[in-house]
């Protein structure tokens, strides 16, 4: 035990640090390997050794049609992610605000949201697709697909909103009300600006959860696949490093999205500090 | 809690604010689950679905030894993954909270653990293939070292590969909640225990583990439900040699046996609900989130 400051670090610290380091290697090791292998030379295979270095497999992905409609799938996934993101952020903001009060049905609604997280995705997808078919509505990625994605992003967003609102002091709103501000004004000038970094987190989760969602999409998107479905299909049919190239590419896109959001949050907080 | 009860607005506006979520959740989570229940009582010949009430789907499912084998395998996967991820999650969180003294380092190292979460699960899963395969790095290495002259076959396309992948994908869901509840432990409590003469292990057992319980419970819910819901990892990483409940269900769906799949789904939901409510007896998540 080595907690109080100033004490010398004992054996325990180094053992735990080594364990943690090994865990980090375990997390990153395999991913780094496929990133490296995606730059495999033209004649290279799925494993080491590298036979030269090239970007051949990246070009191959989009140039050749044997990998399916990757461009279309990517477009659909990004669009779906953006729509899911906007709806999730708005709906969860208001729902989070509402949950600060005790209202009738708050408990059941909360548990229904949790069920939505806990029920295996493909089952909810099955339920949603069957419901649409019973109603005679054709499956479409931007209809039933969007609904399926929202059943995943909304409860997640709600949980994050809880955490965000946990640190939110309602007396700001009250002060604004005492000063005569109306509900919409308070929302626009007080609540949303204060919660903004948290809302970006909700938006970020909304986008990436939807962008990566596979089980719920499988039965609900209809004739046009989203990117995760295309990729999972590739895992069983593609036996070239193109498989790793798509992995590298989508990971890079995800990291770009997070980086942009983190920079946005940092800028907002810096501005805020400058104003204080 | 006082700021909470006085929060925001009049009673009516709370309903207005929550209405979109409520309508959506009822229409697109409640009703689809209801649809599944309905479907599980209907008949099919593999081509058409007949809307006639029958208990056959359940009778068939419950009389098949295969069903029990599937549930056994799935629960076994969940249990092993749960144990390993709990141990890793606990040790890593413990290290971050109690041994990394600088807050910036603490947050930085925690973020380091969360970054892989942002890439696609499918990609993270396939990233094990070049490592574990017959010609993979692990086998190449041990052969080069002269430890064996034959590649180890059990590494890939086996239950081992399935569980390893689960651990790789889901340990994060254990680390974050445990880290959260550990970070809330008041250092004075540990100081007091030490002053009272408790040894390191005693502090661990009587102070830290009990106070990390909520985090462990939350993490367990995530891990158990994620593993129980999986069909893809088990299909790809076992090379088709193992099946879980959902992967078997996926086969039924592919063969258009929707009612049978729905019956299996209802049973799975019941089992998962049972496990989760068991965990919830230990901790009230809503109170935990509101704290």
The DSSP result for B125-188, as a single string, is: HHTTHHHHSTTSHHHHHHHHTTS-SS--SSSSSSHHHHHHHHHHHHTHHHHHHHHHHHHTS-HH
Contact B32 A130 (CB under 8 A): yes
Cα A148 to Cα A232: distance, rounded to the nearest angstrom? 18
Cα A170 to Cα A98: distance, rounded to the nearest angstrom? 12
What is the rounded average pLDDT of the residues A39-52? 80
Question: pLDDT category, A8, cuts 50, 70, 90?
Answer: low
Interface check for A174 against chain B (CB to CB < 8 A): the answer is: yes
Segments making up each domain of chain B, as ranges:
64-290
CB-count burial class (<10 Å; 0-12, 13-18, 19+) for B210: exposed
Contact A99 B124 (CB under 8 A): no
Quote the minimal CA–CA distance from A8 to chain B in Å.
11
In the structure encoding, which two tokens stand for residue B243, read together? 């099946």
pLDDT of the residue at B287:
66
Q: Taking the domain A66-227, which CATH number applies?
A: 1.10.3720.10
User: Which residue among A1, A19, A258 sits closest to B118, beta carbon to beta carbon?
Assistant: A258
Helix (H, G, I), strand (E, B) or coil at A53: strand
Establish whether the linkage from the previous residue to A60 is cis, with ω within 30° of 0.
no
Q: Which of B134, B179, B166 is nearest to B153 (CA)?
A: B134
Q: Which of A251, A212, A238 is nearest to A61 (CA)?
A: A238
The H helix count followed by the E strand count for chain B is 18, 2
Question: pLDDT category, A94, cuts 50, 70, 90?
Answer: very high
Q: What are the pLDDT digits (tens) for A29-44?
A: 999 988 998 898 887 7
Q: What are the pLDDT digits (tens) for B151-205?
A: 787 788 889 999 999 999 999 999 999 998 898 888 888 889 989 988 888 888 8
Contact B33 A127 (CB under 8 A): yes
Q: Which residues of A touch B257 (CB under 8 A)?
A: none
Helix (H, G, I), strand (E, B) or coil at A46: coil
In the structure encoding, which two tokens stand for residue A54, read together? 């090239």
> What does the mean pLDDT of chain A come to?
87
* A4 has pLDDT over 50: no
Question: pLDDT category, A183, cuts 50, 70, 90?
Answer: confident
* A157 has pLDDT over 90: yes
pLDDT of the residue at A155:
93
Question: pLDDT category, A3, cuts 50, 70, 90?
Answer: very low
* B219 has pLDDT over 70: yes
Q: Which residue has the higher pLDDT, B254 or A4?
A: B254
Contact A120 B30 (CB under 8 A): no
pLDDT of the residue at B290:
57
Q: Which residues of A touch B130 (CB under 8 A)?
A: 30, 33-34, 37, 46-48, 244
pLDDT of the residue at A7:
56
Q: What are the pLDDT digits (tens) for B105-148?
A: 998 899 889 888 888 888 899 889 888 887 788 888 888 888 87
Establish whether the linkage from the previous residue to A89 is cis, with ω within 30° of 0.
no
Contact B249 A166 (CB under 8 A): no
User: Which residue among B28, B118, B125 sits closest to A150, beta carbon to beta carbon?
Assistant: B28
Cα B87 to Cα A68: distance, rounded to the nearest angstrom? 42
Q: Taking the domain B64-290, which CATH number applies?
A: 1.10.3720.10
Segments making up each domain of chain A, as ranges:
12-53, 66-227
Quote the minimal CA–CA distance from B8 to chain A in Å.
7
Q: Phi and psi for B86 in degrees, rounded to 5?
A: -65, -45
In the structure encoding, which two tokens stand for residue A14, read together? 């180094």
Percent of chain A residues topping a pLDDT of 70 = 97
pLDDT of the residue at B14:
86
Quote the minimal CA–CA distance from B231 to chain A in Å.
9
Question: pLDDT category, B63, cuts 50, 70, 90?
Answer: very high
CA gyration radius, chain B: 24
Quote the minimal CA–CA distance from A275 to chain B in Å.
24
A122: number of Cβ within 10 Å: 27
- Assign 3-class secondary structure to chain B: CHHHHCCCCCHHHHHHHHHHHHHHHHHHHHHHHHHHHHHHCCEECCCCEECCCCCHHHHHHHHCHHHHHHHHHHHHHHHHHHHHHHHHHHHHHHHHHHHCCCHHHHHHHHHHHHHHHHCCHHHHHHCCHHHHCCCCHHHHHHHHCCCCCCCCCCCCCCHHHHHHHHHHHHCHHHHHHHHHHHHCCCHHHHHHHHHCCCCHHHHHHHHHHHHHHHHHHHHHHHHHHHHHHCCHHHHHHCCCCCCCHHHHHHHHHHCCCHHHHHHHHHHHHHHHHHHHHHHHCCCCHHHHHHC
* B289 has pLDDT over 80: no
Question: pLDDT category, B288, cuts 50, 70, 90?
Answer: low
Count of CA atoms in the C-beta half-sphere (13 A) of A18: 6
Contact B190 A3 (CB under 8 A): yes
* B264 has pLDDT over 80: yes
pLDDT of the residue at B8:
44
Q: A108: Cβ–Cβ under 8 A, 6 or more apart, which residues?
A: none
Q: Which residues of A touch B137 (CB under 8 A)?
A: 33, 47-48
């Amino acid at each position: 035990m080595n907690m109080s400051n100033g004490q010398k670090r004992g054996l325990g610290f180094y053992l735990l640090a080594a364990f943690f380091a090994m865990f980090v290697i375990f997390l990153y090791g395999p991913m780094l390997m496929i990133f490296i292998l995606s730059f495999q030379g033209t004649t290279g295979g799925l494993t080491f050794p590298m036979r030269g270095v090239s970007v051949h497999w990246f070009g191959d992905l989009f140039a050749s049609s044997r990998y399916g409609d990757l461009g279309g799938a990517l477009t659909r996934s990004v669009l779906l992610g953006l729509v899911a993101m906007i709806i999730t952020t708005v709906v969860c903001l208001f729902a989070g605000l509402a949950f600060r009060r005790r209202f009738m049905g708050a408990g059941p609604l909360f548990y229904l949201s949790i069920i939505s997280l806990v029920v295996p995705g493909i089952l909810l997808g099955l339920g949603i697709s069957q419901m649409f078919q019973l109603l005679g509505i054709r499956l479409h990625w931007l209809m039933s697909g969007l609904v399926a994605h929202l059943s995943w992003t909304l409860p997640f967003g709600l949980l994050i909103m809880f955490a965000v609102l946990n640190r939110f002091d309602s007396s700001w709103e009250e002060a604004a009300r005492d000063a005569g501000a109306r509900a919409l004004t308070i929302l626009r000038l007080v609540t949303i600006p204060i919660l903004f970094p948290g809302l970006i987190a909700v938006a970020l989760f909304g986008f990436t959860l939807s962008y990566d969602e596979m089980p719920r999409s499988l039965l609900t998107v209809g004739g046009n696949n989203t990117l995760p479905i295309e990729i999972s299909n590739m895992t069983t049919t593609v036996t070239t490093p193109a498989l790793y190239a798509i992995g590298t590419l989508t990971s890079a896109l995800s990291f770009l999205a997070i980086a942009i959001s983190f920079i946005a949050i940092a800028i907002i907080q810096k501005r805020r500090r400058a104003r204080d | 809690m006082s700021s909470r009860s006085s929060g925001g607005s009049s009673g009516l506006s709370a309903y207005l604010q929550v209405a979109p979520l409520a309508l959506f959740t009822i229409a697109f989570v409640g009703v689809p689950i209801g649809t599944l229940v309905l479907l599980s009582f209907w008949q099919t010949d593999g081509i058409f679905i007949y809307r006639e009430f029958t208990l056959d789907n359940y009778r068939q499912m419950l009389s098949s030894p295969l069903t029990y084998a599937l549930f056994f395998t799935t629960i076994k996967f969940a249990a092993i993954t749960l144990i390993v991820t709990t141990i890793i999650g606990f040790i890593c969180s413990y290290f971050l909270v109690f041994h990394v003294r600088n807050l910036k380092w603490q947050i930085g190292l925690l973020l380091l653990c969360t970054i892989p979460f942002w890439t696609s699960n499918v990609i993270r899963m396939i990233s094990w293939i070049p490592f574990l395969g017959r010609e993979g790095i692990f086998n190449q290495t041990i052969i080069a070292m002269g430890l064996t002259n034959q590649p180890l076959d059990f590494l890939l396309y086996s239950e081992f590969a399935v569980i390893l992948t689960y651990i790789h994908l889901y340990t994060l869901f254990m680390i974050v909640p445990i880290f959260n509840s550990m970070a809330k432990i008041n250092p004075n409590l540990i100081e007091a225990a030490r002053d009272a003469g408790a040894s390191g292990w005693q502090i661990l057992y009587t102070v830290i583990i009990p106070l990390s319980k909520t985090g462990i419970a939350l993490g367990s819910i995530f891990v158990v439900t994620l593993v129980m819901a999986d069909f893809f990892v088990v299909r790809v990483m076992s090379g088709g040699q193992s099946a879980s409940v959902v992967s078997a269900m996926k086969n039924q769906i592919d063969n258009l046996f929707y009612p049978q799949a729905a019956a299996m789904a209802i049973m799975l939901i019941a089992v998962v609900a049972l496990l989760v409510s068991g965990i919830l007896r230990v901790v009230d998540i809503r109170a935990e989130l509101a704290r």
